[in-house]
Structure 1
């Protein structure tokens, strides 16, 4: 009787309850509908004022990649991620490096949230120095996570709804402001897409490489294949539609912002440029609302990503890829990897003093774009191995995704590529040491 009960429990799997629109909503919440707002000023500066163009160009690359993610989610419907696809279809060692680069993304995300929150807080209390705010937010994230406080799915959904209302308010104020313009020229409405006096291909490509940050998170839908109804059909469609909705919404947000801000005028603070745009159309009230809403959103994102990074390091400690005594240690009180949380908090504090938001964003995209190239490569190889000529069109789509992601990766900030390469080489070294460690005991 007991053996039968045990067997039935062990064979239970995750409940397949998520429908198509549940997956899409999850993806939008994961990305956040205000994704282009924090990075708006950086994109404006890098692209010489062609923010909308960079968002749309990044959308093309992300759609190619979203299609590849969808194809691989069909092949591996029981959970999915970039390192799984690359490890299975290309090589296990490349899958490990892909996962290692994604660990960097998890660590960098709370760092850039610390930088942005510090800049936003200075809009409220400018007399408090940036260093003090950076220390405050790094300690805040660490303290709350050490006490086991997590952001629940309901809080994330509520935050997404609030941010949605803020977006509607900003767009309504922007339209009202535009209607007040006397005799607007047709050229003014084309400037966000193409301004011949400031357009430079290299600048737009550099901006597009950073604009990928707007879409980070759409691939998270692939991890829900075990809980989705009809995952072979719904997961690929949800990934592509989430990416498309994100791109269109982001393009609308930045398009109006570019129309409103005077061409060539400098922003008081490049990190919180969108907040100043909101203040231009909605006055001090909308300035405070947008600044506060984005501040809270980044606090939530920073906390969640810090804890996620801590758990990844914990898993690597358990697996032996990192020193087990430190990284696999768990707090007896709160059952969390306390050492990892504190370590990441220290990295956030130190990084906030050294990194700019722009450099941090490019470093995050370093790992993401490498993972995207890996997924596109895995999709191409799977199509070639299993269907040959019948898969020529999907293979071409995956090739397009690989080439566009490679081009964007090449146009990242050189400093970000140097730091990212050092991180990747460290991962290779750890992998070699780990393999040697596992072989030596067998020989003894």
Structure 2
């Protein structure tokens, strides 16, 4: 593998991370999380943000120790054991594979809200075809597209907050800008429901994990990467919490009044800003979802290509490029077929999101453990300050992520464990019963000749 050109600075990385997690994701989960928590979406986001801080701290610690591309897989492989590293990469791969599915599902649900005569599955198939064709022919997203998409989403959020403020000040909604019940309402609080919601919202914070895969393209990665890895989840968490607060005060009783939680954001937008505002959101969010799906499909197909090329997966299917387009068509079509399972989740956005959350939280637990094993167990760093940095903080990260994972939907846990078991079986076969180290998985998404939209952050 050739050396990558170091061109990315802190701003580039933060923009890339925010583009990857998509700022408007807070609107996507509005209806379902508001219903789940009894109107305490803000509290669920605060809980998730605190939980993600500890994991982000562990990522920042590990990227300083191993400033190379690869993320969770690399950290666990180097700091714990190659076999556990493989399984961590295998579980995290689930996120890359399922991300396009969730994006297509959002497009389908939202378009059906506007054109009810056309069912969700038709929109899902149409979006999947666009994503597949774009990747097959090798169309790259423009270098500045992440900046444009992020700016459009942030602008929409700011405009909506302004509209909500005016709406509430006129005596609508909760009638006040300061309502403690929007954060915590003791009359309807249910701890398990809030934790269940927080486990789903954890998938909203995958941006900082994506940032860590770009270490080899970053200027002064030992200094820049840790800062970016911390800034992205903190900035996102604050933004998500503030936005969700304003959504709650705009419609305090939404938890019991929403007609369709999956598309609940449109009911709120029509209340506060009419059809014009809801149409603006449809355009903005569908653009973000389509860009995210194309990037996710490219990332997944490239990772599978790298695994096939290196013999981790069957080379004949996964490790070949199309002669005409020089893209991994087999992988793109396979990922598209998996993404089309979104049609089975047309009325279950939470179920689809829970699958992504399973892979994310599992990987986060292993990164936290990698910090403890690398610095305390292997490195013998056991002074007072070291135990705080390398044992207590990542230990808290393990506990909170494990708690959230426990609260993930049972069907998602079953499917996730089946995927994990398949990885264990495959690892056992390819390592002669775990007697030899596994082949490396190239999680950096950098394979020459293969188009990779997800690696096109704004470098302007």
Moved more, 90-99 or 76-85: 76-85
- Residues 184 and 51 of structure 1, relative CA distance in 2, 3 Å threshold: closer
Residues 1:211 and 2:205 are matched in the alignment: no
Q: 1:22-46: per-residue Cα shift (whole Å, max 9, x none)?
A: 3222222222222211122221122
Residues 1:388 and 2:382 are matched in the alignment: yes
Report if aligned partners of 2:165, 2:177 keep a CA contact under 8 Å in 1.
Answer: no
1:56-75 equivalences under 5 Å are: 56-75=46-65
- Give the aligned CA root-mean-square deviation in angstroms: 2.2
2-structure distance, mates of 1:110, 1:85: 26
1-structure distance, mates of 2:69, 2:11: 19
Residue 370 of structure 1: SS of its match in structure 2?
helix
The Cα shift of 1:227 comes to: 2.9
The Cα shift of 1:345 comes to: 1.3
Residues 1:142 and 2:137 are matched in the alignment: no
Q: Which residue of the partner structure matches residue 190 of structure 1?
A: 180
Count of residues paired in the alignment:
430
Q: Which residue of the partner structure matches residue 123 of structure 2?
A: 133
Residue 165 of structure 2: SS of its match in structure 1?
helix
Q: 1:158-204: per-residue Cα shift (whole Å, max 9, x none)?
A: 11111121111111111111111179677971122111221111111
- Which of 394, 398, 401 in structure 1 is aligned with 2:394? 398
Q: Which residue of the partner structure matches residue 414 of structure 1?
A: 410
- Which of 408, 427, 431 in structure 2 is aligned with 1:431? 427
Residues 1:372 and 2:367 are matched in the alignment: no
The TM-score, its normalising length taken from structure 1, stands at 0.91
- Residues 185 and 176 of structure 1, relative CA distance in 2, 3 Å threshold: closer
1:168-183 equivalences under 5 Å are: 168-181=158-171
2-structure distance, mates of 1:435, 1:236: 34
- Residues 430 and 184 of structure 1, relative CA distance in 2, 3 Å threshold: closer
1:243-322 equivalences under 5 Å are: 243-263=233-253, 264-322=255-313
Q: 1:224-244: per-residue Cα shift (whole Å, max 9, x none)?
A: 322333322221122111111
Moved more, 76-85 or 54-63: 76-85
Q: 1:131-169: per-residue Cα shift (whole Å, max 9, x none)?
A: 222222222222222222232331121111111211111
The Cα shift of 1:350 comes to: 2.8
- Residues 185 and 169 of structure 1, relative CA distance in 2, 3 Å threshold: closer
2-structure distance, mates of 1:120, 1:383: 47
The TM-score, its normalising length taken from structure 2, stands at 0.88
- Residues 343 and 275 of structure 1, relative CA distance in 2, 3 Å threshold: same
Structure 2's unaligned 5+ residue stretches are 437-460
Moved more, 201-210 or 266-275: 266-275
Residue 104 of structure 1: SS of its match in structure 2?
helix
2-structure distance, mates of 1:257, 1:153: 33
Report if aligned partners of 1:111, 1:349 keep a CA contact under 8 Å in 2.
Answer: yes
1:115-134 equivalences under 5 Å are: 115-134=105-124
Residue 241 of structure 1: SS of its match in structure 2?
helix
Q: Which residue of the partner structure matches residue 442 of structure 2?
A: none
1-structure distance, mates of 2:88, 2:3: 27
Report if aligned partners of 2:54, 2:394 keep a CA contact under 8 Å in 1.
Answer: yes
Moved more, 354-363 or 55-64: 354-363
Moved more, 274-283 or 55-64: 274-283
Structure 1's unaligned 5+ residue stretches are 1-9
1:21-100 equivalences under 5 Å are: 21-100=11-90
Q: 1:41-81: per-residue Cα shift (whole Å, max 9, x none)?
A: 22112222211001110011110011110110111123340
Residue 181 of structure 1: SS of its match in structure 2?
coil
Moved more, 130-139 or 422-431: 130-139
Report if aligned partners of 2:39, 2:252 keep a CA contact under 8 Å in 1.
Answer: no
Q: Which residue of the partner structure matches residue 153 of structure 2?
A: 163
Report if aligned partners of 1:81, 1:223 keep a CA contact under 8 Å in 2.
Answer: yes
2-structure distance, mates of 1:250, 1:99: 28
